[in-house]
Amino acid sequence: MKGLIQRVNHAQVDVAGQSVGAIDKGILLLLGIEAKDSSDSADKLLHKVLNYRIFPDEKGRMNLNLQKTGGGLLVVSQFTLVADTDRGLRPSFSCGATPEYAEELYNYFLGRAKTQFSPLACGIFAADMQVSLVNDGPVTFMLET
């Protein structure tokens, strides 16, 4: 499972011109699910996302996690994160989970996140989404489990 996290001052996801999820300060998580992933992978990634120290403390050092800052979490599914780009000029998605399995794990991830964290917002699985954000820093990290 891959998660691209971005520290944001604001992030929003729209579908068909309507906002379906938005946060102010916090983390935008773009979530990619591979065929080999499991609920264990999802739990590990969620733990990393909630506890990864990417927010500044009083000295400006990245020592605080999302839970310490009171920021929001916006989760957006993004299958292109699991693309194999090693060869040629066209990405391969052979490592990606099937849409049915990916949606199951995406919903599992969201369910677990809802029990552990608030405020939480999300996109709509497999929808044509427009994501806008103001990246703070910019601070962006790729997390994998």
- Is 79 annotated as catalytic? yes
The helix/strand/coil state of 52 is: coil
- Output the tens digit of pLDDT for each of the chain's 145 residues: 999 999 999 999 999 999 999 999 999 999 999 999 999 999 999 999 999 999 999 999 999 999 999 999 999 999 999 999 999 999 999 999 999 999 999 999 999 999 999 999 999 999 999 999 999 999 999 999 9
**How many angstroms separate the CA atoms of 8 and 29, rounded?**
10
- Is 6 annotated as catalytic? no
**How many angstroms separate the CA atoms of 102 and 129, rounded?**
17
SS (H, E, C) 57-101: CCCCCEEECHHHHCCEEEEEECHHHHCECCCCCCCECCCECCHHH
Q: Taking the domain 2-137, which CATH number applies?
A: 3.50.80.10
Please state the pTM of the whole predicted model: 0.97
The active-site residue out of 12, 55, 79, 109 is 79
- Is 12 annotated as catalytic? no
